[in-house]
Structure 1
């Protein structure tokens, strides 16, 4: 079997495993069930994947690497607009909804070391988002860090909710942009915080 075919088979099995994990929950899938779902024997499964947990880690790690890429580290952060970031998250969610579900629901099933690694990727992602926000913000310090954390959560949750709402794609994306951009601009100027003082 040539390398291209092996790679295609690996990707196909990985996608099938992702579907099963997303449907049933990682903890509810046994190695025997996973092997049967992939058309393998339980013994040969280990030849393709070191462990079930390793496969979950690979799927979640890939998602966070893609999230980092949405913040376009190749460009200077000041050149990227929030609208571009929102559209990139919308598109990524449309491409990988099952990975978002796994990352939200089954992250706790990873080993402590794997969770630390994913946490580091998330921190890099939020730091890149923070660099994008800083030029527009009057907020500083911890308030700005918390704002970046909340925006990251919204960027990763809103597409799923809106795409499930059955709104036409253009209308869902426009609604997400409206909600996020309006809230972000007001928060970064500190308007809501200053009014409470």
Structure 2
């Protein structure tokens, strides 16, 4: 019987995190008080502090998870490379899928990153840079760019992969149309910049 209780606690915790994420995404992190957050997730304020020492810690946890998921998209690209299949379509499809599964985390990571402490921003910045560097190694391993130009290219490429799915879904494109357009836009940029 204990595993069921543990599983239930875990499910409740995930559900509460999802509710918190939805509230942050809807209102903006800075506009949500701990009292409002606690009520929204079905806890007392004191009980919420038991799970998360602060609102910032909760936001950090949500954004950190997002960067871990982005890192996992690179694993899919590596597997495609090992199979000898084109990497870019695989990465685009993985980002499209991740955006479909976690649109609120994309919004939080972009809009509310500035609400975190300097130390939290530094830790997440390192995760973001690791992701961007890995992305470039997969997509353009022979690039002639170096230094800041290469880092800026990685940032722009990651931004395209992370924002295009939301923009294209707003246009009511089918998945096939969206993926094809993303591939065309990203491939064109890569060929002109890194080719």
Q: Report the TM-score when normalising by structure 2.
A: 0.89
Are the structure 2 counterparts of residues 82 and 59 from structure 1 closer, same or farther at C-alpha, using a change threshold of 3 Å? same
RMSD: 2.0
Cα deviation for residue 52 of structure 1 reads 1.1
Q: Report the TM-score when normalising by structure 1.
A: 0.88
Kindly indicate whether residue 109 of structure 2 is the aligned counterpart of residue 106 of structure 1. Answer: no
How is 1:32-181 mapped onto 2 (pairs within 5 angstroms)? 32-72=35-75, 75=78, 78-79=81-82, 81-181=87-187
C-alpha contact 2:66 2:106 (8 A) present in aligned 1: yes
Deviations 1:171-196 (A, max 9, x none): 1111111111122122212xxxxxxx
Cα deviation for residue 39 of structure 1 reads 1.5
Equivalent residue for 1:26, pick from 1, 24, 29: 29
Distance 2:113 2:189 in 1: 28
Are the structure 2 counterparts of residues 140 and 46 from structure 1 closer, same or farther at C-alpha, using a change threshold of 3 Å? closer
Kindly indicate whether residue 6 of structure 2 is the aligned counterpart of residue 3 of structure 1. Answer: yes
User: Residue 78 of structure 2: SS of its match in structure 1?
Assistant: coil
Cα deviation for residue 69 of structure 1 reads 1.1
Q: How many residue pairs align between the two structures?
A: 189
C-alpha contact 1:126 1:148 (8 A) present in aligned 2: yes
C-alpha contact 1:78 1:135 (8 A) present in aligned 2: no
Cα deviation for residue 145 of structure 1 reads 2.9
Cα deviation for residue 139 of structure 1 reads 3.8
C-alpha contact 1:77 1:131 (8 A) present in aligned 2: no
Cα deviation for residue 65 of structure 1 reads 0.7
C-alpha contact 1:71 1:85 (8 A) present in aligned 2: yes
After TM superposition, the structure 1 stretch with the greater mean CA deviation from structure 2, 116-125 or 152-161, is 152-161
